[in-house]
Structure 1
Amino acid sequence: MQVIKTWNYLRGYVIIRVEGLTLERFLNLAITSDIYLWDIKRVDYTVLEIKVTIEGFKALKEVVKRVGCRVELIDKKGVPFILYRLKHRKMLGFGIVIFLGLFIFLSSLIWSIEIIGNEEIKTGDIIKVLEKENIKSGIIKYNIDKDYMKHLLLDEFNNISFLSIETKGTKLIIEVKEQDLPPEKIDTDTPCNIVATKKGVIVKTIARCGNSVVHKGDVVKKGQTLITGVISDEYSEEYILVHAEGEVLAKTVYSYRLDEPIVKLIEEETGKVYERWELKIGKKGIQFFKGDIPFENYNETVREVKLFQNGIHLPFKILVHEYRELETKEIKQNIDFLKKSTHIKAVEKVNKQLSAKVQIESKDVKYYIEDGILSTYVVIEAIEDIGEKQIININ
């Protein structure tokens, strides 16, 4: 159906109004004369609106004479009529050509570079590497060598395991997947101590190589030596250096405090909305109707107006800034429900601090109310290996 409409538009057609008492005979004669009519609408008992091709309109003269109806030309549609108008309006035609040329040129440029998937690698560092090779906003997208870009970024960043580069309209999209680098291991021939990674109370020490310098019940702090790799002779000043091996189990404490007001302020939308339109080209934008926002308290959202729905990307964006008025209300929260919710949130926060090998010994939760604030304290005691190898600096 869409193909037929497009074909009719390319050929050109007219919209006519036919008035008379013999409309059925008019239609029958037109059909028998092989005149193509479509979108036939009955406006009144004696009036029809019809679309017909340019050739068909000329052929209708004989039909009109035979049935005695009156035909009125309402509108002209299609490419032939546009070209005819442009022929007599050269400046308008020239302007359209310039606009189309400018549109095609702007569509061939990259207006933004989007980096996705990176966590450890900073987006700014990737952009700097690309800019050194003149790959930045404003470059012609057909001049981009994607294979060269991949080699460039893979050589620069060792922890990239996967790289995808594609262009969507005027946007260059670089998808990065980083590889998890294992912690740096100390060679077994390298002398080292085992030191505490955090504060704790010693529960058990197992020294497979080296000497334990702490005992059960000792309170140790972060960085303190637990198993030494320096083996000395008590009767002389001589010593040997070894690669310390072992485990040091300690009781550690994790805590978290969460404060929540009993009387809570919430914001609700009143239903009043104020809009501003913006034309954005690259990083620059032009706002229309720049009046003062008529709300003291509001929530702003920005949405893009899509001119095409089939994935066509334009070198500019039309944005609508919506300002929704908010009003503040006070609500008193149920204490029992508040305790349950803060308890869950606080425990979740503490659990994020725990590693998979931590053995939880006890959990304690306490609540305090002061100045209208409910404070929730969660304390978890755990047993874990707090040892970490540290190279012995011989110098």
Structure 2
Amino acid sequence: MAIWWFFGPALALCVLVAALVVLGLRRGAQVQGADSGQKREMRIYADQLKEIERDSARGVIPDDEAARLRAETARRLLDADRRGSRALRESPSAAKWVALVLVLTVPLGAFALYFNQGTPLYGDMPMSARYAAANDLREARLSQDAMEAAWQADPTRPPAPEVEQQYLDLMAQLRAALEQRPDDPRGLRLLAVNEGNIGNNAAAATAWARLIALEGEEAPVEDLVALGESMVLATGGLVSAQAEVVLDRILQRDPRNGTARYYLGLMFAQTGRPDLTFRLWRGLLEDSQPTDPWVPAIRGTIEELSQIAGVRYTLPPVATGGRGPTAEDMQAAAEMSDEDRQQMIGGMVDGPASRLANQGGTAEEWARLIGALGVLGQQERARAIWAEARLVFADQPEGLAQIDAAARSAGFGE
């Protein structure tokens, strides 16, 4: 009974469609056959009757002869009409075979496609119900602590990285020192960074949270990003409600922050809203540099997400380079003297270098400067900027990744 409840309407629809197709084929073949023979003959006889009437009216033929011809022609017209009626009741053999094939293949093909692409025995769920189910799933998420505990007990969790004993001894000393001075911001930052380096992401998240609590509402966005990422890593990639709060706080301060946008999209994918994931990640991919750490993950899944979201989307090609001089800049440089060209080049890099050294900047800006110096052949200066940038972003793995990628593109680096 349950099977019929799910498949009965679909089966009835298949039968109806097949019947309409068969009737259409049969009717088309019949009408075609009639038009090619009997109906043409009937039109000839009808024209002959009109011609007989005209000749009789003009006195060309006697009345008795006209009556005889009229009767004979009318008899032939009726015979042609009867043959046409029989043709409408007889389908050509080719049409019969086509109809038989369609009757068998249409239902079977439809069910095969459904079992391959659909969800058998799964009832219809309107969009409103899907959104409600996704909201319930989002509300029913485990807490951060419960997710961390589940990840620690997960047999598929990869082993922790091997750490030298000397490093572990130093970490023990650092933890002990912070027990004596729990509100030391510098010590908390050092602890958070190094707990993450050895794979203790839950401990790193705790240290970041303590540091941000001391910093208050003016906590740097970079610290919030480090906290959010540590929380997600500590759960094996799941985004808890507590981590979502941190991500929202980041986006309130920095709406274009790539890390927060990526993890927020991941959260929507985990809670039944892949359509929102697609919207977030599409914009993020368009705003990102090829070296950004989230780009490979997005490129690997966004086309599938677009299909789920019902959007036609073509993955753009991978960019082969960063922002650089325009064609006009290159043409202008080619027309300059050597002295003027060197002066122009110095102006292109000296200003950003001075600003970054004095005021700081994003990892992307440091990476762009390193790449520009490498292109200009100033390898030693590029190395010096790279070494300085590594110190600035020592506690920010994502920033380090961008800087090291720029160094490798410039022909050096690790």
TM above 0.5: no
Is the helix fraction higher in 1 or 2? Answer: 2
Higher strand proportion (structure 1 or 2):
1
Which structure would you say has the larger RCO, counting Cα contacts within 8 Å and 6 or more residues apart? Answer: 1
TM-score bracket, normalised by the shorter chain, equals: under 0.3
